[in-house]
Chains A and B, each alone.
Chain A
Amino acid sequence: VQVTVIIAAGKITDVQALTLPSDRQRSAEISQQAGPLLHDEVVQAQSAQIDILSGATFTSDSYAQSVQSALDQAHL
């Protein structure tokens, strides 16, 4: 089955099961977020109480401004 997850303000608010549209392999279960990822659904990193940040490679230069840098500072 395909599952649609609707996220608002970082919370999963609804989960809908859909039938898989094609005969793709069983493992190809794809979920799609129904709503657009808008500004008000995006979470300020500080308020999300995260431990780690994953993102496309930050460089030595951009590290200083990164959220990971702030997380490191908080525990140093």
Chain B
Amino acid sequence: MVRVEHVMGTVVSLHLRDPGIADAAVDGVFGWFHEVDARFSTYREDSEVSRLGRGALGVGESSDDVREVLALCDDVHRESEGIFEVWGRRHGPPFDPSALVKGWSVDRAAAMLEGAGARNFYLNAGGDVVGRGGAQPGRGWRVGIVHPEELDKVAAVITATDCAVATSGAYERGHHIVDPRSGRPSSGLLSMTVVGPSLARADAYATAAYVMGREGVGWVSGRPGYEAYAITAQHRAVFTAGFARLLTSVTLDPVPGPSA
């Protein structure tokens, strides 16, 4: 079954290949996303995140979930030597953990589905993906990495079973990722994709590594369990050896070039 809902400022798709999973479990997952939206939105003045940002709520008074997100943000902030920053950026709200919350909420949703007995499914939240099991017996999920300039095409295809895949790029929302060291949009890459066990981290790592540029690929390869694939402004793909092992050779009709 497939369920698609507009939530968290994007669209979440669930593809569930196991029969007999209770509707209530699926309802619970989408209910969770709406709850996350209310509690973590920077667009809602009364959300926990907005109240934390303006000092109306202390960290100690926050819910366990908010503190879990804060701890993860702190981890990635340290690991990235300050490039991943959720507090006091020059533009935007005073506290904005959005680059991690979406992935974190999808990790939680995947655990909820597994708890309900689901084994073969994926969740895609606006391009950030968690997959479990595979599309059919004996085959993992084929994940296409969008070409950053031709959004109806894929630049690469990987096959993976239990995985999270997150991509950051300048396209779609404009230059929305800013290097906190310069306050300017990062440059040098068209997109950065990170694969690993947790979408919360993959999402945050992709954000930080995109800012770092080509060096970001090496940085991600130093995060245990995570792999990276970057597309440079010169249209070259730079990726970790571990990512190369996930790359899938796809047989297809040749696509004519623009001058062909």
Whether both chains belong to one complex is answered with: yes
- Looking at the complex, which one of A24, A28, A42, A67 makes contact with B155 (CB distance below 8 Å)? A42
Does chain A have a CB within 8 A of B157? yes
Contact between chains at B144 and A52 (CB < 8 Å): yes
State in angstroms the CA–CA spacing of A44 and B255 once bound together: 7
Q: Indicate with 1 or 0, residue by residue over B164-206, a CB within 8 angstroms of chain A CB atoms.
A: 0111111111000000000000000001010000000000000
State in angstroms the CA–CA spacing of A11 and B235 once bound together: 17
Contact between chains at A31 and B144 (CB < 8 Å): no
Contact between chains at B173 and A43 (CB < 8 Å): no
- Expressed in whole angstroms, the minimum distance between the Cβ of A19 and any Cβ of chain B is 13
Contact between chains at B235 and A36 (CB < 8 Å): yes
- How many contacts between A and B, using CB within 8 angstroms? 219
Given A29-B240, A32-B236, A59-B9; A47-B252 close (CB under 8 Å): yes
Residue in B closest to A3 when the chains form the complex, CB atoms: B241
Contact between chains at A55 and B235 (CB < 8 Å): no
Q: Indicate with 1 or 0, residue by residue over A59-76, a CB within 8 angstroms of chain B CB atoms.
A: 110110111110110011
- Expressed in whole angstroms, the minimum distance between the Cβ of B260 and any Cβ of chain A is 7
Contact between chains at B143 and A10 (CB < 8 Å): no
- Looking at the complex, which one of A10, A39, A49, A67 makes contact with B146 (CB distance below 8 Å)? A67
Chain B residue numbers with a CB within 8 Å of A10 are: 156-157, 249-250, 252
- Looking at the complex, which one of B10, B154, B168, B252 makes contact with A53 (CB distance below 8 Å)? B154
- Looking at the complex, which one of A11, A15, A30, A50 makes contact with B217 (CB distance below 8 Å)? A30
Chain A residue numbers with a CB within 8 Å of B241 are: 1-3, 29-31
Residue in A closest to B125 when the chains form the complex, CB atoms: A57
Residue in B closest to A12 when the chains form the complex, CB atoms: B249
Most A CB atoms within 10 A — which of B142, B237, B247?
B237
Q: Indicate with 1 or 0, residue by residue over B144-161, a CB within 8 angstroms of chain A CB atoms.
A: 111110111111110000
Which one of B45-53, B88-96, B128-136 is at the interface?
Answer: B128-136
Contact between chains at A57 and B146 (CB < 8 Å): no
Contact between chains at A56 and B10 (CB < 8 Å): no
- Expressed in whole angstroms, the minimum distance between the Cβ of A37 and any Cβ of chain B is 4
Contact between chains at B250 and A48 (CB < 8 Å): yes
Chain A residue numbers with a CB within 8 Å of B4 are: 72, 76
Residue in B closest to A69 when the chains form the complex, CB atoms: B11
- Looking at the complex, which one of A28, A32, A45 makes contact with B222 (CB distance below 8 Å)? A28
Given A29-B240, A42-B147, A50-B157; A56-B168 close (CB under 8 Å): yes
Apart from A10-B156, A44-B252, A51-B142, what are 19 other A-B pairs with CB-CB below 8 Å? A5-B247, A10-B250, A29-B241, A30-B241, A37-B155, A37-B235, A37-B237, A39-B258, A43-B250, A45-B152, A51-B122, A52-B15, A52-B122, A55-B127, A55-B145, A55-B148, A55-B172, A59-B9, A67-B152
